[in-house]
Amino acid sequence: MQPQKKLINSVDSCVDEAVCGLVRANGGLSLLKGHRVVLRSDLENLRGKVALLSGGGSGHEPAHGGYVGAGMLSAAVAGGVFASPPPASILAAILSLYNAGASGVLLIVKNYTGDRLNFGLAAEQARNHGVAVDMVIVAEDCAFDRPSKAGRRGLCGTVLIHKLAGALAQEGCSLDQIVSKVTEVLKGIGTLGVSLSPCSVPGCLPSFVLPPGDMELGLGIHGEPGIKRSKVGFADEVVKTMLDHMTNPDSQSHLPLKSGDRVVVCVNNLGALSCLEMAIVARAAVICLENRGVEVARVMSGSFMTSLEMTGVSLTLMKANQETLRLFDAKTSAPAWPNLSSVCVTGRSYITDPPATSTRPQEDTYTEGPLSPVMRQVLQMICSTLLDKQEELNSLDRAAGDGDCGNTHAQAAKVIQEWLQDHVIPGCPGQLLSVLARLVQEKMGGSSGALYSLFLTAAAGHVTETQSNAAAWASAVHAGTQAMRRYGGADPGDRTMLDALCPAVDELMKLTTSQPGGHMAILQAAVQKATLGAEETRNLTAKAGRASYIAAERITLPDPGAVAVAAILRAVVEVLEAQK
């Protein structure tokens, strides 16, 4: 088994380069020379206020360096990957904050033995330097029913403590006041994680083995084992399992939660869950809590305390009152804190009604006109032609596409046939084209449906009941073709339906200047041009559409879209010839 591939320069330098990258990318941060310590670059603004310091092993980014800024941490110290930072760096950070004029320094520490020891040692040393230091231990993990003597682990709830303590410090609260308030809030915070994969420290093998299709509930952020392994379920089931476990009164580490309680929810990506999955989990969490009668006041969803590339998520719940929410909503310049809404999630009207005016023409207001019978005949002929050609078009499409060109055209034909049975043909050609545009858009599918709908929509405005002579129809067809070119991005010669349509349109434009007696000859010539254009596509190299991804020498048949266009035009002209 090989170590996981990672985009780094070297195992030895990865933490220093990551810390440097964070600071170089954010103007509000600076680096303490000789240490892996990220500082606020405006330390002078700490004068007379309590400074906040946190930190821990690297690999949990954006924790903790991403939370340095006005309204959150004053500094963060990083250890090696999943390793507690050394006391010397912690002390250097404390003294930097003290020398900047801070009235005291609060250490916010996750409940891991290494962190407790190293931050504790640095705190004792700082006191010997005359610094007023206090420490808050975050231990909000809800995984274990009977926690060991080491106690509950510190997880993503730590980030919420950064935020609340930071807001209090920004307002000028004393060290004792901040410690007292966040200690109280900590009683109402719980976190539980679930993972679908392990993670691996750079240069090392994965932290544990998880069989495909399994998930681990209650694991730590360093890949420590959880409490239960099971098959991956649906997102809703997984979230319900997590919340049930977190709030189970039989567990010593549960978060007491009852109907009527108000909470902040943090949906935390442990590293490699997609944004799509995160949004699904967030939805499930909100619905599950609301079904229990819990008021969801705020939701933050994203990567807040990760575990390298672990494919998993943790849920943190924080009971909240108005004061807690006020501190939670307070502004911060910390780069990793999300830009959250301060509107309560539960009770918010989150569905917007669509516009009252429908884009669908009022079909019951149509009245027939002189052109209605011939337009019905033309549509019937087009539909029967496309149904007859279904397999031919599919066969042509199999050479260069996915073999469904005939099916999509036949689908459009069937939909139009059904519509013809139940509706009158409006006397206004533009209204008919608009109806057809909607039908193919909704039912034809694929890029063909979009292209035909574009053509019909753009053409519709050029033919009305009073303006439906040959010149108007020619202008309509020209406008439709231009819309196809503009939005589809193809041109004649690219081996698409345009290779049949554009030569025909060039011929049809002669209708704008010709005498009525010559119209039929122009129509027949347009059909010939379309047929020839379709046939010649067998010699073209595809530059647009799906066929453009196929090697040119493999494509020796005509383009099915062009063949379909030629057949449609031929059907139209055959009906018009029969009218003479």
Comparing CA positions, the residue from 253, 327, 240, 331 lying closest to residue 288 is: 240
Element at 189 (helix H, strand E):
strand 189-195
pLDDT tens for the chain, residues 1 to 580: 667 789 999 999 999 999 999 999 999 999 999 999 999 999 999 999 999 999 999 999 999 999 999 999 999 999 999 999 999 999 999 999 999 999 999 999 999 999 999 999 999 999 999 999 999 999 999 999 998 888 999 999 999 999 999 999 999 999 999 999 999 999 999 999 999 988 889 988 887 788 888 999 998 888 777 888 889 999 999 999 999 999 999 999 999 999 999 999 999 999 999 999 999 999 999 999 999 999 999 999 999 999 999 999 999 999 999 999 999 999 999 999 999 999 999 999 999 999 986 555 555 578 899 999 999 999 999 999 999 999 999 999 887 777 889 999 999 999 999 999 999 999 999 999 999 999 999 988 778 899 999 999 999 999 988 888 999 999 999 999 999 999 999 999 989 999 999 999 999 999 998 888 889 999 999 999 999 999 999 888 767 665 554 555 556 789 999 999 999 999 999 999 998 6
For residues 407 and 443, give the distance between their C-alpha atoms in angstroms, rounded to a whole number.
12
Which distant-in-sequence residues (6+ apart) come within 8 Å of 484 by Cβ?
A: 451, 454, 455, 490, 497, 498, 501
DSSP-assigned states of every residue in 213-277: TEEEES--TT----SEEEE---HHHHHHHHHHHHT-TTSTT-----TT-EEEEEEEE-B---HHH
**CB–CB of 55/90 below 8 Å?**
yes
DSSP-assigned states of every residue in 324-383: HHHHHHS----TTS-----S-STT----PPPPSS-SS--GGG----TTHHHHHHHHHHHH
In DSSP terms, 29 is beta-bridged to 40
- What's the DSSP call for residue 153? P
Pairing outcome for strands 312-319 and 295-302: unpaired
Helices first, then strands: H and E counts in the chain: 17, 12
Q: Work out whether the CA dihedral 440, 441, 446, 449 comes out positive or negative.
A: positive
Among the listed residues 222, 409, 462, 519, the single catalytic one is 222
Which distant-in-sequence residues (6+ apart) come within 8 Å of 381 by Cβ?
A: 571, 572, 574, 575
Q: Tell me, what's the pLDDT at 548?
A: 56
For residues 422 and 186, give the distance between their C-alpha atoms in angstroms, rounded to a whole number.
67
Q: Tally the residues of the chain.
A: 580
Q: Decide if 245 is catalytic.
A: no
In DSSP terms, 228 is beta-bridged to 217
**CB–CB of 310/271 below 8 Å?**
yes
Question: Taking the complete model, does pTM exceed 0.85, yes or no?
Answer: no
User: Does the annotation place 59 within a ligand binding site?
Assistant: yes
CA distance to 392, 417, 433, 577, per residue, from 385 (Å): 11, 12, 19, 16
For residues 137 and 120, give the distance between their C-alpha atoms in angstroms, rounded to a whole number.
11
Q: Work out whether the CA dihedral 241, 244, 246, 250 comes out positive or negative.
A: negative
A 10 A CB-CB count for 351 gives 5
Q: Tell me, what's the pLDDT at 166?
A: 98
Tokens 């959880």 belong to: 226
User: Does the annotation place 60 within a ligand binding site?
Assistant: yes
Q: Tell me, what's the pLDDT at 4?
A: 77
For residues 480 and 48, give the distance between their C-alpha atoms in angstroms, rounded to a whole number.
71
Q: Please report the domains of the chain, with CATH numbers, ordered by start residue.
A: 13-329 (3.40.50.10440), 371-578 (1.25.40.340)
